[in-house]
């Protein structure tokens, strides 16, 4: 990948989001996205993304799966499943810096307004849980415990993310995620 | 809805699945599905389903959400969140009778082989969890406890379903679901 490629990808994603907000997801074409990204062509768009929907998901999905898997693999030998998950959430939350909050909030609003995007978001969420569960199984965590810890971690991350992607919130995502995971852990004893 | 409507819907679903298995999901058209369902027309198909993908999901999704919500609402006043979820899973598992096992196994194989269907399945799963969480909140279960219990119930149901939708398995889904929920409950104390 050449020197300018990561920037092209980022510009395409930014342009797509702007257009989705301005004129709606359905009304936006790949040609318009490429044009808005600085006079690029449709061909360039398709070198980076398979379609206009994936522009909102493809980049994050792979990267986030890798981040949680690496953090779980790197957790100390004696770490419990939830301690390994906590390390994964710390690593993932660190990606969402303050300067990304507004972009994330706008992205979230676009997704919430479109059933096709909501559907894709549900798959992304499932993929994140599966990446965590897989990494836990590789640490010899039994299957159900791995799945359950991953479900808990995913629930903690998205609960915190929904609070963070709100312009009235001023906490760092890593703090919100830690607190939510602690709350979920405490809640486990109340389910009956 | 007229007397024959539920049967038409069922015939369309059965025809779609047969064609998806025989010639693949992508190669199958709505016209072919309608024709296979006993010489029906495309127009009839679209009175029942918005597109060929929904034929595999639309029916179950609403019905299953209602079943779990009703069972949770009907649980005794003193029931814990997980006891209410257990009642919901009993009610849902009862839908999947022995005579539906082979159909379910074939359906599952089709879905596992197609990313578009897998994506839709992830949304269906999220909708089931959300239906349980909503019903628990209506019982004044706090938000995180409601979400977590619903996640646990969803994990138990699909873990059991994956075993049941295997032609080598001969247990009733209700038994598999209960055992899996018990195992998950026991696992909760091992997560650290």
CATH of the domain at A176: 1.10.357.10
CB-based contacts of A114: which residues, under 8 Å, 6+ apart? A25, A26
Mark whether B141 and B100 lie in a shared domain. yes
Beta-carbon separation of A155 and B147 below 8 A: yes
Burial class (CB in 10 A: 0-12, 13-18, 19+), A136: buried
Placement of tokens 């998806």 in the chain: B20
Q: What's the residue count for chain B?
A: 192
Chain A residues lying within 8 Å of B122, measured CB to CB: 119, 122-123, 125-126
Mark whether A93 and A20 lie in a shared domain. no
Dihedral of CA atoms A103, A104, A110, A112 in degrees, nearest 10, equals -160
Judge contact between B111 and A110, C-beta under 8 A. Answer: no
Q: What's the residue count for chain A?
A: 192
Mark whether A83 and A113 lie in a shared domain. yes
Q: Where a domain ends, among A13, A37, A52?
A: A52
Chain A residues lying within 8 Å of B80, measured CB to CB: 191-192
Tell me whether 0.90 is exceeded by the ipTM: no
CATH of the domain at B15: 1.10.10.60
Mark whether A34 and A74 lie in a shared domain. no
**Nearest residue to B11 via CA among B33, B42, B41:** B33
Mark whether A10 and A78 lie in a shared domain. no
The pLDDT, as a whole number, for residue A59 is 66
**Above 70 in pLDDT, residue B172?**
yes
Q: How far apart are CA B113 and CA B185, in angstroms?
A: 32
Across the interface, of B80, B119, B148, the residue whose CB is closest to A155 is B148
Mark whether A43 and A95 lie in a shared domain. no
Judge contact between B154 and A126, C-beta under 8 A. Answer: no
* HSE, side-chain direction, 13 A CA sphere, residue A127: 19
Mark whether B65 and B41 lie in a shared domain. no
Mark whether A75 and A121 lie in a shared domain. yes
Distances in Å between the alpha carbon of A157 and those of A87, A119, A125, B72, B124? Answer: 12, 18, 10, 26, 21
- Residue B21, domain extent: 5-54
Number of structural domains (chain B) is: 2
- pLDDT by residue for chain A (192 residues), tens digit each? 445 566 888 899 889 988 988 888 889 999 999 999 999 999 999 998 888 988 888 767 778 999 999 999 999 999 999 999 999 999 999 999 998 888 788 888 888 888 888 888 888 898 999 999 999 999 999 999 999 999 999 999 999 999 999 878 889 999 999 999 999 999 988 898
Chain A residues lying within 8 Å of B144, measured CB to CB: 159, 180, 183-184, 187
- Sorting pLDDT into bands at 50, 70 and 90, what band is B5? low
Judge contact between B17 and B103, C-beta under 8 A. Answer: yes
A182 lies within 8 A of chain B by CB: no
A139 lies within 8 A of chain B by CB: no
Q: How far apart are CA B157 and CA B137, in angstroms?
A: 20
The pLDDT, as a whole number, for residue A5 is 64
């Amino acid at each position: 990948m050449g020197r300018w490629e990561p920037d092209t990808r980022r510009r395409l994603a930014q342009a797509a989001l702007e257009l989705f907000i301005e004129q709606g997801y359905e009304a936006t074409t790949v040609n318009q996205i490429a044009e808005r990204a600085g006079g690029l062509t449709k061909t360039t768009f398709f070198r980076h993304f398979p379609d206009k929907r994936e522009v909102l998901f493809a980049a994050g999905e792979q990267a986030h799966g890798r981040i949680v898997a690496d953090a779980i693999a790197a957790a100390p030998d004696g770490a419990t499943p939830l301690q390994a998950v906590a390390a994964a959430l710390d690593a993932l939350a660190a990606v969402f810096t303050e300067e990304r909050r507004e972009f994330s909030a706008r992205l979230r609003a676009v997704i919430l307004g479109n059933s096709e995007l909501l559907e894709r978001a549900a798959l992304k969420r499932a993929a994140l849980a599966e990446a965590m569960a897989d990494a836990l199984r590789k640490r010899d965590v039994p299957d159900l415990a791995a799945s359950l810890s991953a479900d808990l971690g995913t629930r903690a991350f998205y609960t915190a993310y929904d609070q963070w992607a709100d312009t009235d919130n001023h906490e760092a995502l890593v703090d919100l995620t830690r607190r939510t995971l602690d709350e979920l852990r405490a809640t486990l004893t109340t389910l009956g």
